[in-house]
Amino acid sequence: MSTVAPTLPLRNGADIPMLGLGTSPLVGGESVRQVRTALEAGYRLIDTAENYRNEDAVGQAIRESGIGRSEIFITTKFNRRWHSIDGVREAYGASLQRLGVDYIDLMLVHWPNPDQDRYVDAVQGLQAILEDGGLRAIGTSNFKPAHLQRVQEETGISPDVNQIQLSPYSTRSGAREYHSEHDIVTESWSPLGASSDALRNDPLITSLANDHGKSPTQVVLRWHVQLGLVVIPRSSNPGRMAENIDIFDFELTEEEMSKISSLDRGESVVTDSDQFGH
């Protein structure tokens, strides 16, 4: 029996599932199998990107699944070379063709690349496609509050979503607070920490897992969801995929949530988007 995640409303009217599938680094047939398995397990949010080189496989898996296009929420992202209003439209068209669909639910600026200084134009490009009806939501990825603030001040645009590296080892409280103040949904990538094993083996997490009769992974993913975050764990293992989405039948207490948040190690474990990007 499959589980379907609840959804969150986005500022531009779409509803995004609170748990989805991260598809990097698989490509080709492996990616097709991964996405089809996830869809069979109840996943309805699939996260891909130009840089993952698997948009074609994601689109093929969706077509082969037999599930209606309107039931699946597709997120993709574009690279720095497209950071202009016309460039974003070109990137959108290319992703549309690779995916083999006639619209994309959510498209993200993958990294701000402030050294290039064109991320404001990139967001404006997304807004133009949104207004034309080619997107249901627009977003950013790896943007810091300062990047988002500049976009808002120069254009008046706030994204539906900002996807950032976030886990109990890096809770990103400052970014989450900024997002909340500006009606931006936070989406967590690398939700189990840069090293999944370290967080899954953390004594606090394993203790809570035992208390709830759940796995350490399920406890961590439940923490994300109870914070009101969208979370996109990556897995190609059918058993783990089913385990990852099976987190909606238990609840962590406020005290347990606080204990997990206290594992925070700050920004030191996060990739610095002022220094890295593509």
Q: Are 74 and 48 in contact (CB under 8 A)?
A: yes
Cβ 158 vs Cβ 184: under 8 Å: yes
The 3-class secondary structure across the chain, one letter per residue, is CCCCCCEEECCCCCEEECECEECCCCCHHHHHHHHHHHHHCCCCEEECCHHHCCHHHHHHHHHHHCCCHHHCEEEEEECHHHCCHHHHHHHHHHHHHHHCCCCEEEEEECCCCCCCCCHHHHHHHHHHHHHHCCEEEEEEECCCHHHHHHHHHHHCCCCCEEEEECECCECCHHHHHHHHHCCCEEEEECCCCCCHHHHHCCHHHHHHHHHHCCCHHHHHHHHHHHCCCEECCECCCHHHHHHHHCCCCCCCCHHHHHHHHCCCCHHHHCCCCCCCCC
Contact between residue 93 and residue 132 where contact means Cβ atoms under 8 Å apart: no
Measured between alpha carbons, how far is 11 from 220 in angstroms, rounded to an integer?
27
Which of 52, 92, 119, 178 is the catalytic position?
A: 52
52 is a catalytic site residue: yes
Phi-psi region of 152 (alpha: psi -120 to 50; beta: other; left: phi over 0): alpha
Catalytic sites, residue numbers = 52
